Amino acid sequence: MRLPLRTGLVAALAVVVFTAGATGVAASAATAPVSGGPTGSGVCATQAVSVRTGATVATIRAFADCEIARRQTTLESLSRVVAASAALTSSDAAALAAKIGADRSGLAALKATIGRPARPASLRVQVVQIVSGFRIYVLLGPQVRLTVAADGVVALKPHFDGISATLTDRIAGAAANGKDVGAAQADLDAMNAAVANAVALAGPLPARLLALTPAAFNSGTAQATLKSARTAILKARDLLKAAAKDGRSVLADLK
C-alpha cells in the first residue's frame, strides 16, 4: 500500500521537476542571441551544401528562396523593434519603417525574378543580389538598432532637465537655510554638462545612419559611419551614466 503511493508521488514530482526544468531551458533558449537574425545564419546550410555539390537551377533556387525567407523573417523582427520603440522619434520611425518596407518589397520582387526560367549562371547573379542589394544584416539591422539607441540618448534629456530643475530648487532652499551647497552645485553642473555632451554626440547620428544605403556599404564608405556611430553612442551612454551618478551625488550632498 505504502510503496505504490510513494512511487506515485516520486513519479509525479519527477514530472513537475522535469516540466520546470524544460520550461527554464526553453526560456533561456528564447533569450539567447542568434547570429544572423532570428532564424540564424546557418538555417540555409543544407541548401548551400546542395548548391556547392550540384549547382542546378533547382538547388540554386532552393538556396535563394531560403535566404530570402530568412531575411523576410529578420525584416519582420526589425519592424517589431521599430514599432515597439518608445525612444524613436516619429520621423525616424517612419524612415526606418519605409526602409524595411522597401526591402521587403524588393526581396519579394527578387524572389519572383529568381522563380522565372533561367540558366544557372544568370541565377547566380540574382542570388548575389540577395546580399549585395539589401545588406539586411550588416547595414539595415545596425541602422535600426543604432538609431533606436541614439534617439534613446536624446529622449533622456527632458528627463534630466526635470531632475536638474528640481535639484536647482533644492540647492536654493538649502542655501537659504545657510547650508554650504558648493559641492552640490558642482555636481549639478557636472550632471548638466554630461547630459549636454551626450546629446551633442547622439543627436546628429540618426540622420547620418538613415542616409546609409547598400550601395554605400558595397563601396566601403558606410562601415566607417556605422563604427563611429557605435563609438559615439557608447560614449554618450557612459556620459549619461556619469550624469546619473552626479545627480545622486547632489542628493547625498544635500543630506
Partner 1 sequence: MKRNQARTIACLAAALLVCLAVAGCGRHGSTPQPTAPQPSYSAAAGGPSGANESGSSEATGSAPAASSTPATAPSAPPTPDPVASELDQINQLINDINNSVGSSDSSQQGGE
Q: Which residues bind partner 1 (CB under 8 A)?
A: 1, 4-5, 8-9, 12-13, 15-16, 19-20, 23, 33, 35-37, 41, 86-87, 131, 135-138, 141-142, 144-146, 148-149, 152-153, 155-156, 158-163, 165-167, 226, 230, 233-234, 236-237, 240-241, 244, 247-248, 251
Classify 12 as helix, strand or coil. helix
Whose Cβ is closer to partner 1: residue 50's or residue 168's?
Answer: 168
Task: Tell me how far, at minimum, the Cβ of 241 lies from partner 1, in Å.
Answer: 6
DSSP secondary-structure letter at 40?
Answer: -
Whose Cβ is closer to partner 1: residue 17's or residue 58's?
Answer: 17
Whose Cβ is closer to partner 1: residue 25's or residue 58's?
Answer: 25
Contact indicator for 136, 169 with CB cutoff of 8 Å = no
Grid cell of 3 as nine digits: 510503496
Grid cell of 223 as nine digits: 562601415
Contact indicator for 167, 173 with CB cutoff of 8 Å = no
Largest CA distance in the chain: 87
The H or E element spanning position 83 is helix 57-84
Residue 207 CA, chain-centre distance (Å), reads 17
Whose Cβ is closer to partner 1: residue 20's or residue 58's?
Answer: 20
Q: In sequence order, what are the residues at sequence separation of 6 or more whose Cβ sits closer than 8 angstroms to the Cβ of residue 87?
A: 148, 149, 151, 152, 155
| Amino acid in the structure at residue 73 | T
CA torsion 15-21-26-28 (nearest 10°) is 170
Whose Cβ is closer to partner 1: residue 58's or residue 200's?
Answer: 200
Task: Tell me how far, at minimum, the Cβ of 117 lies from partner 1, in Å.
Answer: 28
Task: Tell me how far, at minimum, the Cβ of 20 lies from partner 1, in Å.
Answer: 6
Grid cell of 142 as nine digits: 545596425
Whose Cβ is closer to partner 1: residue 58's or residue 234's?
Answer: 234
Classify 116 as helix, strand or coil. coil
DSSP secondary-structure letter at 232?
Answer: H
Task: Tell me how far, at minimum, the Cβ of 144 lies from partner 1, in Å.
Answer: 8
Task: Tell me how far, at minimum, the Cβ of 57 lies from partner 1, in Å.
Answer: 23
Whose Cβ is closer to partner 1: residue 54's or residue 204's?
Answer: 204
How far are the Cα atoms of 27, 106, 114 from residue 134, in angstroms, in the given order? 32, 8, 16
Task: Tell me how far, at minimum, the Cβ of 37 lies from partner 1, in Å.
Answer: 6
Task: Tell me how far, at minimum, the Cβ of 154 lies from partner 1, in Å.
Answer: 10
